[in-house]
Structure 1
Amino acid sequence: MINDEGALFMTPCRRKTASGPRLLAVVALVVSSLAQAAPQTFNTALPVAEGNLVLREQFLYRKADDDTSPARRDLRVNGAITVLGYGLTRDLALFGALPYLDKELDLDGPGGQRIERSSRGLGDARLFARYTAFKDDAPGRTFRIAPFFGVEAPTRDDDERDRFGRLPQPLQSGSGSWDPFGGVILTYQTLTYQLDAQFAYQANTEANDFEFGDEARLDGSFQYRLWPRKLGGGVPGFLYGVLEANLIHQEKHEINGRRDADSGGTQLLLSPGLQYVTRRWIIEGIIQLPTAQDVNGTALEDDVITRVGFRINF
């Protein structure tokens, strides 16, 4: 049900640091430049410095096999998402994301035999811009509000076939449609913790007589510095504990202009994770656990989604 392969994230802005008694003062003034934790399942409002590049790679595994239909479907998705961000100006950043996905669907076919249908390859690209509309910086903390707007472009095949015929649209590598999306992100960061919240909406359009249901989501993230407990000179990095929540609602799909009663629904995910943050790179991992799912008809429910990855600031 959930299509969040293009979730985009940030890494620290690179600036010079100080040593000795001035360190804490500098950290207080440029906190987001030194040890910036960030959400792992959605975006943050913290900046990409002008002229800087951010590379992020995230590997994911998704399993969904709670099927109430006679087909006994079992969906597995393995993938990697490559994200590149660029600070065009002090307040404007541009992003692009390109996923590689390996999808496998096992189900009972005619006569009860077990069959497998699959696709693999690059998915549709997501391109968007994020602008810092409001910022309030002070020693030891920062608060930012940043709206974003973009489009998911049909850059990949959407008519793949196997020996059983054309693959179902959700199993295709690409959607074939131009799908605009947008939203707003709020971030509050201190030396010890960070809070992020996002509202996002994607309006999906029709292609190949199929239209994915529009998707709305509300996300929250809390990151807390576990180590070191006290700031000081000579610390190579920072370990953060992360807890995130994602409330996602998707409308029913449409096939040939008619709504598919076995698609869409509402899902709440709670996600614990860890991040190790340095000035130029981050290693991170998180497990998304469905705590409430209200899907329509026989739509599949997620069992678990895991994400691990890294970010590098240039």
Structure 2
Amino acid sequence: MNRPPAALTAAALLLASPLAAAPITFSTALPVTQGAGVLRLMAEHAETTSGEGEIDDGALQLVLAWGLSPKLTVFGLAPWRRTELRRRTPAGLVSRRGSGLGDVTLLARFTAFKRDAPGSTLRLAPLFGVEVPTGRDDEADARGPLPRPLQPGSGAWNPVVGLVVTRQTLGWQLDAAASYKASGTDDGIDAGDVARLDLSYQHRVWPRRLGGGVPAFVYAVIESNLVDRSRDRTAGRALAGTGGTTWYLAPGVQYVRRRLVLEAAVQLPLAESPARDDDPSLIVSARINF
């Protein structure tokens, strides 16, 4: 995707035990229970205008998380992408499409600090991993090789590091994260690195008071994503129309049951770089604990 969703976004909403809220657009610091797993399916649609033209980007991401120990959780993320590029030329509107399996991401998250109290917990967890170049980066159509934004894969190994802090109570949860992806080089093009700062607040709106026999919960969610992309380079020269900083605000809602979470959020671009013009994007997700 051209949006922040990447490894850290897809790993979001993976929790330690049933009946808990979590961020939608990035990862929480809460661990997955040892010997238990979480399966998440996330769909996203976004439209962006850049130097390449108008880009319509859709993605499905399948995420599997497994608790190896009380402190260590590992993740595997497999995205499928479908991207369309529309560009106006003197000959008229030209449309090109690319689709396929994207780069698989492998992540590990370790709880380095925790402080538990009655009705609340505080966790700090570094994470690290790598995007593996499993997606094709040589797709072509009748006009020739597809532009880079239409390629399902990056063609490069991209290390990812980050740090997540979570404060959870019975009524609300606050998460903050910082992450960095060092993009590799493919076909002489050094893709820009990506740094991001994320913040999420989830507040239980139903039921207002906890009691016995409540089968489900509803949370209102508000999130902030600050994403900075360095410019792509080739032969040491920066490529025009790449890079920049974008700030997104994402209101959302979560419906939480013991083994199932359903959620949706709309990601709104509040401040953008001159190199790109993002429309609001939609994120929907389902997660099953097992």
> TM bucket by the smaller chain?
over 0.9
Read off the aligned partner of 1:9 and give its amino acid letter: A
1:48 pairs with 2:49: no
Correspondence for 1:156: 135
Separation of aligned partners in 2, 1:10 and 1:227? 19
Read off the aligned partner of 1:63 and give its amino acid letter: E
Check 1:124–1:102 CA distance in 2 against 1; reply closer, same or farther (3 A cut). Answer: same
Correspondence for 2:12: 9
Q: Give the unaligned 5+ runs of structure 2.
A: none
1:89 pairs with 2:73: no
CA contact (8 A) 2:4 2:227 kept: no
List aligned pairs for 1:1-314, cutoff 5 A: 1-6=2-7, 7=9, 8-13=11-16, 33-65=17-49, 73-109=53-89, 111-295=90-274, 299-314=275-290
Q: Secondary structure at the match of 2:228?
A: strand
Separation of aligned partners in 2, 1:10 and 1:116? 35
TM-score (norm 1): 0.88
Read off the aligned partner of 2:67 and give its amino acid letter: G
Q: Secondary structure at the match of 1:170?
A: helix
How many Å apart are 1:12 and its aligned residue?
A: 4.0
Q: What per-residue deviation string (whole Å, max 9, x for no partner) do you get for residues 27-62 of structure 1?
A: xxxxxx342100000000011000001101101000
CA contact (8 A) 2:18 2:289 kept: no
How many Å apart are 1:4 and its aligned residue?
A: 2.0
CA contact (8 A) 1:34 1:278 kept: yes
Read off the aligned partner of 2:228 and give its amino acid letter: H
CA contact (8 A) 2:13 2:26 kept: no
Q: Which has the larger radius of gyration?
A: 1
CA contact (8 A) 2:260 2:288 kept: yes
Separation of aligned partners in 2, 1:39 and 1:255? 36
Separation of aligned partners in 1, 2:30 and 2:253? 19
Q: Secondary structure at the match of 2:149?
A: helix
Read off the aligned partner of 1:106 and give its amino acid letter: R
Q: What per-residue deviation string (whole Å, max 9, x for no partner) do you get for residues 129-162 of structure 1?
A: 0000000011110000000000000011111111
How many Å apart are 1:11 and its aligned residue?
A: 3.6
Q: What per-residue deviation string (whole Å, max 9, x for no partner) do you get for residues 83-117 of structure 1?
A: 000000110000010111110010023x3321111
CA contact (8 A) 1:10 1:54 kept: no
TM-score (norm 2): 0.96
Read off the aligned partner of 2:12 and give its amino acid letter: F
Q: Secondary structure at the match of 2:277?
A: coil
Separation of aligned partners in 2, 1:245 and 1:279? 27
How many Å apart are 1:300 and its aligned residue?
A: 2.6
Separation of aligned partners in 2, 1:162 and 1:256? 27
Q: Give the unaligned 5+ runs of structure 1.
A: 14-32
Check 1:3–1:9 CA distance in 2 against 1; reply closer, same or farther (3 A cut). Answer: closer
Q: Secondary structure at the match of 1:301?
A: strand
Separation of aligned partners in 2, 1:243 and 1:279? 22
Structure 1 runs of 4+ with >6 Å offset: none
Separation of aligned partners in 2, 1:227 and 1:4? 28
Percent identity at matched positions?
45
Q: Secondary structure at the match of 1:294?
A: coil
Q: Secondary structure at the match of 2:32?
A: coil
User: Larger % of strand: which?
Assistant: 2
